[in-house]
A and B are shown apart, each in its own frame.
Chain A
Amino acid sequence: MDIHEYQAKELFRDSGIPVPPGDVATTPDQAEKIAAGYGGSVVVKAQVHTGGRGKAGGVKLADSAAEAREHASRILGMSIKDLTVQKVLVTPAEDIESEAYVGVLIDRATQAPMFMVSPEGGVDIEEVAATNPEAIRKLRVDPRYGLLPHQAYGLATFLYEDPKLVKQATRIMGQLYRAFTDNACSLAEINPLIVTPGGEVKAIDAKVSIDESALFRLPEVAEFRDLDAEPASETKAREAGLSFVKLDGDVGCCVNGAGLAMATMDLVKYYGGQPANFLDIGGSSNPDKVVAALEIITADPNVKAILFNIFGGITRCDDVANGIVEAARRIDIKPPIVIRLTGTNEEEALQILEEAGFSAFTSMDEVVEKAVELAAQA
């Protein structure tokens, strides 16, 4: 789960990382008031779950409260990579002597948290990694012992020479690691970590992703979820226990299992169509889930045909069949539905569907070809 910069900064502040103050505005009026409260120059920053906000014009320096208002009115409502900006963070502008990068992520290859630090901050770290890899220092943290003091010091000395700065940065490394583990992050990034002319080290931007699996024990962090930042269909899917990602095509897909769901989408493309979504109904055999899935898929006006691909293992085919019949009774489904069911209780499922007037396939290729054909005809 991605969280906003202002939320990430709250987590960082709680861990003791020096972060400048800031407040969130949803209207230009509010932005002006916040700016006036700080006095002097402020930065108005779009709060959306994507990088490249600066390039898109979503981060602006304002020398007065009136100018902050102007910037906010332009930024609020603007679209950055298809995401509409609904909040801005207003924060006092800082004078910057230097910018560094500090990040922690879960490294799959070494199966542990990994620090990445670079004295070249304020830019995309992937770019630095590609053009100037020597400017990045990586450190695998042994998850059993955490970040050890000499390791934190080693990272800090890669960024700074001045002992006063090294001391501050060493402390920040430890605080960031604690924020990362306490909040079950998959990524926690400070970019940039700045040095002010007065010699203070501060985090002026923050990016954090939280592991969804840990939210059950982090109620305060779970509250950070911004329902406005995701399509309504994805919220509904999550509440129904479905895994769903909206795409741009016209063939709605309903599949059990993530791997098979992806393979089904790929096969739609192979036969010349475009999938409208990724949807995994999971391993359970609950007809209500199938109803919810069909409600979500049919709510997308682009969908011209709906495709079911079910390989019954734990999932029982007859339960899915009952769900389809039940959904057809409860909601008005306009696009044609094609169904492939095979595995556990396949016979019963085929009978249920036949009696309700649906026809079913047992081959994955056949059903996908048929769905693509129907979508093209519509």
Chain B
Amino acid sequence: MSDMTAWLVVWPVAVPLIGAALTVALWGRERAQTNIGFLAIALQLAAGLVLLQHVWENGPVAMAMGGWSAPFGIALAADVFGAGLTVVASLVAFLILIYSLTDTDADQRRAGFMPLILALMTGVAGAFLTADIFNLYVWFEVTLISSFGLMVIGGRREQLDGAVKYAFLNLLATTFLLIAIALLYGMTGTLSMADLSGKVAALPADSPIETVALLFLMSLGMKAALFPLHFWLPAAYHTPLPAVSAIFAALLTKVGVYSLIRVFMLVFPDGAEIAREAMIWVAVATMIVGALGALAESDIRRVVSFTVVSGVGVMIGGLAIGTQAALLGTTFYIIHSIIISAALFMAAGMISRAGGGTRIADLAGLYKGSPFLAVAFLLCGLSLAGVPPFAGFWPKVYLVQAGLEAGAFGIVAGILISGFLTLMLIGRSFALIFWRAAPDGAPRVVSDGGDLMKGALGALTALTFVLGVYSAPVANMAGRAASELLAPQAYIGVVLGRSAQADASGAGAAEMRP
């Protein structure tokens, strides 16, 4: 008999999966699909909160699927890091669903919006909660396949163009990930990340650990949009529906960042020096190139895409430093970035509605027609740049402090310079889009998005403000996540140990087989 509390780790994955199955079965009935979608994401959020509370009080929890024990079978496992990110992901996804009610029309919803979103959320939660590295690859595929479908809803020519680039480069990255996993399996004979943790450390000195670590850095870095493999993101993220861009920007790169952290903290906690050295410079380059790219762009949705890239650099910078304070900053930044990327893509979508386009040169004087949007965009932009009192300020403080303590001055400089460039960018975009007087005869504000869009954007803006003013809960949570990442014995123990009990029940089930 396995412990019933272990079921907590299953629900955030199983609930959206069942929801996806129901919505596929009800294909074409968009009202029923929408109701099921909202219910499933709300239940996923509730399941995530219960899981987080359980993990917070009792330490990591794991369950071996089908009772097949962990080094051989697949386990789902949650620590504060994974459970916390699941909660933030489903919270933001819920707000994006509210936004999507206005953003999508009935035809687009009938084209499978809700089933694909639920499949995407299944994949995201699965990636955050799996303890098996091959299973991680499978969840990547689940998110990837559903994101292909989401990307082309709307069916405009440029969407297909963006989707082809996105699909090709992501399939390439997944193939490299598969090769890296295969090499790792060849060396160690195990796929459970908890088991790998000890086995990789015990490998003979001539094993190609550096090669495999670099392959992981490359393939997961491509998913996370790290320089120089970031170019697919700004080439693709401005094409789908704004709600789809928002959920992609909020979650997909973060799954890549999460996996990099998991792999480098659990599988390669020591060694892999070349990959770690490379990670520092890749992170700095990503921050700067992302911010410069955003400054050079003339389309508001592409500007916002580049700021996502810049944020990925900051997160990986924290991983490259690797101390308690740095990992705290990184975890906090991931949470902040999930919120703020969604908010900025929502705002960009509303700007294109209000101004009738996305080229900054064509947009002007939107403040008059949509003051709410102007204020929300400015506040979220300031949070993105890391200005107090918003949530973007604190992770950068922790990261800069950690960088100074560890002597990683390149990363400190990168964070400060990219923050400054982002501030310039936000100021410039705000001045051009909202402040600049509209030329005479320019079309008036077409639509301010309506109450649902404003409500979703307002909720995210309020969240980034509240988490900035009252940052203690998130900072505490990120601190616990960082400690558990640095000392993963409890996580490893629960994945391998709990499965010893589950093994007994699994064997019992096997005996009953005819």
Physical interaction between A and B: no
| B positions within 8 Å CB-CB of A | none
